[in-house]
Amino acid sequence: MTTYLQVAEDDGEEPIELPTEDDGTLLLSTLAAAYPGTCGLKYRNPDSRAMRGVRLVEGRLHAPETGWGNSIYFCVFPKVISTHPFTAENKRKSDDHLENSTAKTKRMESKQKCSDLIVLGLPWKTTEQQLREYFEAYGEVLMAQVKKDSKTGQSKGFGFIRFASYESQMRVLAQRHMIDGRWCDVKIPNSKEGQVQQVPCKVFVGRCTEDMQGDDLRDYFSKFGEVTDVFIPKPFRAFAFVTFLDPEVAQSLCGEDHIIKGVSVHVSNAAPKTDPSRVGASGRAPVDRIGGPYGGNMGGGGGGGGGRGTEHKALPGPAGPYGQGPYGGSVTAIGVGGTAGGGWGQALPGSRANLDMPNLQALGITGGIGATGGGQGPPGATQGMNNPMGMGTLNLGTLPMNPAIVAAALNQAAAGWGIIGNLQSAQGGQDNGPTQGFGNPQQFAGGASAQGGNQAVQPANVPPGQSGNAGTPNQGAGGSSFLGWMNQGGGGAENPGGPNTTNQGPGGASWPQRDKGGSYLKYDV
DNA sequence: GTTGAGCGTT
């Protein structure tokens, strides 16, 4: 016998009665039909007055032990937690955790820009109107188009959409979509990769004194958040760059004065130079290298190369925010903490996503981040797995969930594990574990070992076999042939192309090809 | 009138 239970989107919203199945469960698909984007249910436990999650197993929501009763159930939606993973513990403001998710989401929205999204796998018959209508359930749709053959008018089976709000975009990216009878994937289009520039993680630190070492700056600024890089130009030029894992931290510091070693330094925007031409503000000679600090000035005499040992870890640079592409992925560790329940309403409490490119440190390869999160995460959260190849170590075995659901949650179906967009289960309830992020396959395939590509190095679309440098740290190697490609068209002296000692990945050809994406940000140091 | 991995005439 079919019964109905009342489900509301949120407290205070009008509930919708949804039919249960013969076995008394409520299909997630039924729920999602009424509330697109929802991933689970919760209800208020009258005894504890706490919200309690509904068990979700293989797409079926199971009634509490006492039955569905007359409670009103509320939808659980994937939650946008941060522009960056790993940093919830690192928030500068101690009251940050008091912010409700709505406020935080709003704040994110103001910073995170939407981009066009490609919708793959559309039925031939789906029209733009239908496409729009489907996605309007997730939020305001600014654009919807179905690509068609110019002659026949026949749909090519894919299209593009654009949302007004980033949250809508995230929700849509976080799942697969049944449109007109077919499962469709929504992704960031390849053509947009790297163009969706996140809030910069790097700040300019002015008025530095010569006795400020990299470690001094690192130590000082680490109290605001994880520092992923410090760069001090040589010879001494009274400024430095500090890169944070969390762009919010970086931004929050901009405009401030700080006392380091008794000296007042000024933090400001790192002002990336996108213009690949010529002289910077300093009036120095043109800087023809692209790729910024790493390996920059050091190559002057022809011998230096990239490796700087301690200071400069491999930083692939901010790249496309979402992993796509079939070439493996890097789910270094999916933290499984809290309640182990089926389905993605509950099973990914520790998962994070990187919008900003995680560097190797961020992936726990250097161990730094693992240490950061240590002790705060839930039991079972895996920390800092060494994953030098940047691919393949998907410890699904630890996941008490259906891999297909994981795949769906990761929005990458069978091929390639991309980045789950900033999703945080609202049901998990646990502290965020030190889960190391979901890597962008392409980023790893091409640039992870790239010494010095901190400026939007975009080795996207590297076919299998063309770039094997998946993630070898490449620290301190004497000379890095990576620099070779940065220097196209000028200034050969800087790029010695030293022994390619660390570029022995599978597949052969050493360095990332310059991608069609084309533009590299450049800091004029 | 067919197709089913991909990536946007303008």
Is there a contact between A455 and A317 (Cβ–Cβ < 8 Å)?
A: yes
**A327-376 pLDDT per residue, tens:** 333 333 333 333 333 333 322 222 333 322 222 222 222 222 323 333 33
Which pLDDT belongs to residue A78? 66
Residue range A112-123: average pLDDT?
90
What pLDDT does residue A485 have?
32
CA nearest to nucleotide B4 C1': residue: A121
Smallest CA-to-CA distance from A235 within A317, A188, A303, A300 is with A300
Residue A172: band (very low, low, confident or very high) from pLDDT cuts 50, 70, 90: very high
How high is the pLDDT of residue A146?
95
Q: Which of A43, A41, A45, A78 is nearest to A60 (CA)?
A: A41
More confident residue, A215 or A501: A215
pLDDT for res A351: 31
Q: How confident is the model at residue A287 (pLDDT cuts 50, 70, 90)?
A: very low
Is the predicted pLDDT of residue A99 greater than 60, yes or no? no
Give the closest residue to A224 by CA, choosing from A248, A197, A193, A259. Answer: A248
- In this prediction, residue A253 has a pLDDT band, given cuts at 50, 70 and 90, of very high
- % of chain A residues with pLDDT over 70: 44
Residue A513 near residue A268 (C-beta atoms within 8 A): no
Question: Pick the residue with more confidence: A325 or A235?
Answer: A235
Q: How many degrees, rounded to 5, is the angle at CA A423 between CA A395 and CA A334?
A: 15
Distances from the Cα of A93 to the Cα of A90, A223, A352, A364, A439, angstroms: 9, 11, 20, 25, 28
* Mean pLDDT in residue range A441-462: 31
Span A374-428, pLDDT tens digits: 333 333 333 333 333 333 333 333 333 333 333 333 333 333 333 333 333 333 3
The answer to whether the beta carbon of residue A122 comes closer than 7 angstroms to any atom of strand B is yes
* Average pLDDT value for chain A: 59
When pLDDT is averaged across residues A491-495 and rounded to a whole number, the result is: 31
CB A455 within 8 A of CB A271: no
Q: Where are the alpha helices (DSSP H) in A128-213?
A: 128-136, 166-173
Per the structure, the residues numbered 340 to 399 in protein chain A that have their CB within 7 angstroms of any atom of strand B are: none
Q: For residues A498-502, give the mean pLDDT.
A: 33
Mean pLDDT of all residues in A124-152: 93
Q: Is the pLDDT of residue A291 over 80?
A: no
Mean pLDDT of A230-246: 91
pLDDT for A198 = 61
pLDDT on residue A272: 56
Sorting pLDDT into bands at 50, 70 and 90, what band is A167?
Answer: confident
Paired tokens of A453: 């590509």
Of the pLDDT bands very low, low, confident and very high (cuts 50, 70, 90), residue A273 is: low
- The model's confidence at residue A47, banded by pLDDT at 50, 70 and 90, is confident
CA of A111 to C1' of B10 (A): 30
The pLDDT of residue A143 is above 70: yes
Separation in Å: B6 C1' and A330 CA: 22
Q: Is the pLDDT reported for residue A522 higher than 80?
A: no
A400 Cβ within 7 A of any nucleic strand B atom: no
CA A356/CA A245 separation, integer angstroms: 8
Strand B nucleotides within a 7 Å radius of protein CB atoms? 3-10
C-beta within 7 A of nucleic chain B, residues 160-179 of A: 160
For residue A371, report the phi and psi dihedrals to the nearest 5 degrees.
-65, -35
Burial class (CB in 10 A: 0-12, 13-18, 19+), A134: buried
At residue A79 the predicted structure's pLDDT band, cuts being 50, 70 and 90, is: low
Q: What's the 3-state SS for A286-343?
A: CCCCCCCCCCCHHHCCCCCCCCCCCCCCCCCCCCCCCCCCCCCCEECCCCCCCCCCCC
Q: Angle CA(A264)–CA(A267)–CA(A271) in degrees, nearest 5?
A: 145
Give the best-scoring range by mean pLDDT among A33-47, A60-74, A459-473.
A60-74
pLDDT on residue A197: 57
For chain A, percent of residues with pLDDT exceeding 90: 28
Across the strands, what pairs with A48?
A: none
What pLDDT does residue A113 have? 76
Residue A37: closest CA among A71, A91, A76, A72: A76
Q: How many C-beta neighbours within 10 Å does residue A410 have?
A: 29
pLDDT of A72 over the 80 cut = yes
Query: Given a cut of 80, is residue A106 above it in pLDDT?
Result: no
A184 closest-nt by C1' vs CA: B4
The answer to whether some atom of strand B lies closer than 7 Å to the beta carbon of A149 is no
Nucleotide nearest to A180 (CA to C1'): B4
Give the residues across from A398 on adjacent strands. Answer: none
Which residue in A163, A167, A149, A160 sits closest to A187, CA to CA?
A160
* For range A437-450, the mean pLDDT: 30
